[in-house]
Structure 1
Amino acid sequence: MKVLFDVTHPSLVHLFEAPMRALADRGHRIAVAAREKDVTTDLLDAAGVPYAVASRAGAGPLSRLAELAERELGLLRVARRFGPDVVVSQVDPAAVHAARLVGARSVVFDDSEPARLAASVTHPLADVVCTPAGFRRDVPNQRRYDGFHELAYLHPERFTPDADALREAGVDPEESYAVVRFVSWDAHHDVGREGFSAAGKRRLVDELDEHATVYVSCEGAPPDLDAEPLPVPPERVHDLLAFADVYAGDSQTMATEAAVLGTPAVRSNSFAGDGDMSNFAELEGEYGLLSSFADEDAAIDRAVEYAREPPRETMAQRRERLLEDKVDVAAFVVDVVEGAA
């Protein structure tokens, strides 16, 4: 069969890479329609995955509307040229529209309860909507699985941290360091939400710096942060994260990545608290691998506590329990795609 993957975000390169390779090994033909956003195409290039660019991300509400039209046309052009049997995406209306118009089945992955607007016009047209088991909404054609997107690429079956890659980049994995990530909060589902304030970013970095080298990845952070940029290319960030003493920031994805790697993870943004996404509630309440705070000062205190005394053994034991409970998400993706066809 022919399978078209719609890759609109850097995290989807990771989510879909192993399933794409497994499907290709089984004799299926694979194509990728990419969105130029952040380091999405850089990651595809680093992975050696061919792709066609369907749209390019802009900035601001008007540019998002313009990109939506660009994406609808761009993805349809790719689909008509490739002729897929199945189109696989995260929550993207353009993907399910293209699938309908070329007579393909559509498989959608969704792990974000707050993304209601895009979901409301995507789920009803999808043939299968895959969500984590704890997902707090029932949606049309839903198939639940016991896992997280991040386990498709950070499960020990798929990923082994490479200490030598860090040493080549000038990082000693035995030395104390922290990874910090700040995001821009300009996605459609982030309207009305916020992460660390400028003052909070400075305080977090300054106080972590008293205990460890601080590496910062940021979108729109204040320019006076006294920290190092990430010393590794985007495709090596998980190696850096795996050996860190602590991760802290307002990113949703990197907080989950740190947690499933067993790295002490602290997350602060206005999603945290009552009604938080099910993934974060489970990682925190059930497994103790993540600490989420709406109050940035409380988050900073916890991150500094971890930097001062990293709870490595405790987190490793908690991660083992997580892995025992969860499925191989990459294998699940393959099964669903083949089943949909």
Structure 2
Amino acid sequence: MNYVFFTNTPAHVHLYKHAVERLARAGHRVRVLARDYGCTVDLLEYYDLPYRVYGSCGTTKYSLARNLPGHYARILPFVRRFDPDLIFGMGAYAAHSGALSRTPTVLLLDSEPTSLDHFISRPFARAILTPDAFRKELGKNHYRFAGYKECAYLHPDVFRPNPAIREDLGVGPDEPYAILRFNAFGSHHDVNHSGFTPRERYRLIDRLARHTTVFVSDEGGRLDLERTAGRPFDAHPALLHDALAEARLLVADSQTIVTEAGLLGTPAIRSNSFVGENDMGNFIELERAGLIENVAEFEGVVERAEELLADPAVPERMAKRRREYLETKVNLTDVIVEVAENEGNVERVGAVSKTGTPSGRTRYLPTND
């Protein structure tokens, strides 16, 4: 069979990388259609995946709109030539290329605020898969699985952290360090949202650097780290999860990396304008499980970060929570491969369900520890 996977961001590469490799090893023809955004291409090269770039996109809010016509002009002819039996993606590119090429399409969605993308994508999807924590209903073809998209690459079945990352970072075997991740807020779903101000970012770096080594990942690339006690995170982006697994703390105003930290058992503080009563389901559930903390006010972020760094019991407590929590979650790569091998007929896949929690799984209920 022929399969096309869309990777529009670095997170999408991680989501599909193991499924692409497994399907290719099984003798299927697989192609990844990629957008040159952030480190997406670097990751595809690192994992040696069969890809083709359909266009690029910057981190400014209107870069995507300017490039959109050219993207479609390159995507559609390729899809027709490759003649896939099934398309996987996370939005409009996959859905529309599937509709125009008459190819069944499976969308994997996890962000409730992207309502426009849902509106223009879901009518063309054979199936939509979301985490069971997803707080919206997306129609008759909406199926849920027990976990998050990050379970495709951070579930214990597929991820083993490499402690050699400490050599790449230049830190000692027992040297604690924190990672700070700052979002560029340039994606279409980031319109009208924000995170730390530039002044708060500088203050956060210098306050935490009093307690530990601080690595900074700045998506927008606007910070002058020479003004601070922080160090740039300059390891290969494919090594980020190894670094995150070894970190003592993550503080971020971005999204995906916070879920990743929670699934790795690394204490994580998230702060941006999404935080609040209408927050996304995955962040609400992860906080309920004690794996992340959502803090709206900057001073609260600094105070809580210093408390976590000062508590020697945190690593063991987080490891226990992670272990118990992931026992209730699926290896999403297994689900994706099974959906592919069933030609997108999701109803044949036991690990997904139209309502509630899929059969054979129980929702995690946190206990006091």
Query: If the TM-score is normalised by the length of the shorter chain, which range does it land in?
Result: over 0.9
Q: Partners in 2 of 1:173 and 1:242 — Cα distance? A: 14
For the structure 1 residues 128 and 26, does the alpha-carbon distance in structure 2 shift closer, same or farther, using more than 3 Å as the test? Answer: same
2:21–2:49: 8 Å Cα contact kept in structure 1?
Answer: no
1:159-197 residue CA offsets vs partner (Å, 9 max, x unmatched): 111112332442324211001100110111111100011
Specify the alignment match of 2:75 in structure 1: 75
1:61, CA displacement in angstroms?
A: 4.8
- Over aligned residue pairs, what C-alpha RMSD do you find? 1.4
Once the two structures are superposed, what CA deviation does each residue of 1:32-80 show, in whole Å capped at 9, x if it has no partner?
1100000000000011112111111035454322222122122112212
| Structure 1 segment 1-341 matched on structure 2, within 5 A | 1-58=1-58, 60-91=60-91, 93-140=92-139, 141-220=141-220, 221-223=222-224, 224-285=227-288, 287-310=289-312, 311-341=314-344
Question: Tell me, which stretches of 5 or more residues in structure 2 are unaligned?
Answer: 345-369
Shift of 1:275: 1.0
Residue type of the partner of 1:296?
A: F
Q: Helix, strand or coil for the counterpart of 2:138?
A: coil
Amino acid at match of 1:222: L
CA distance in 2, matches of 1:225, 1:335: 48
**1:93-114, Cα deviation, whole Å (9 max, x unpaired):** 1221111222211010100001
In the superposition, relative to structure 1, how do residues 225 and 183 fare at CA in structure 2: closer, same or farther (>3 Å)?
farther
Contact 1:177-1:213 at 8 Å conserved across structures: yes
Q: Is there any run of 5+ residues in structure 1 with no aligned partner, and where?
A: none
Give me the whole-angstrom Cα distance separating, in 2, the residues matched to 1:330 and 1:304.
36
Q: Please say which of residues 162-171 and 331-340 is displaced more in the overlay.
A: 162-171
User: SS at 1:340's partner residue?
Assistant: coil
3-state DSSP class of the match of 2:164?
helix
Give the equivalent residue in structure 1 for 2:352: none
Identity %: 39
- Separation in 2, partners of 1:264, 1:61: 30
Cα–Cα, structure 1 residues 213 and 336, in superposed 2: closer, same or farther, change >3 Å? same
Distance 1:86 1:68 in 2: 23
Contact 1:52 1:78 survives alignment (8 Å): no
CA gap of 1:59–1:265, structure 2 versus 1, over 3 A, is closer
CA–CA distance in structure 2, aligned partners of residues 20 and 189 of structure 1: 27
The amino acid across from 1:189 in the alignment is H
Residue 27 of structure 1 and its aligned partner are, at CA, apart by: 2.0
Residue range with higher mean Cα deviation, 57-66 or 79-88: 57-66
- Equivalent pair of 1:10/1:40 in contact (CA under 8 Å): yes
Paired residues, what number? 339
Taking the aligned partners of 1:68 and 1:240, their CA distance within structure 2 comes to 34
For normalisation by structure 2, the TM-score amounts to: 0.89
| Distance apart, 1:118 and its partner CA | 1.1
Q: 1:173–1:109: structure 2 CA closer, same or farther, 3 Å change rule?
A: farther
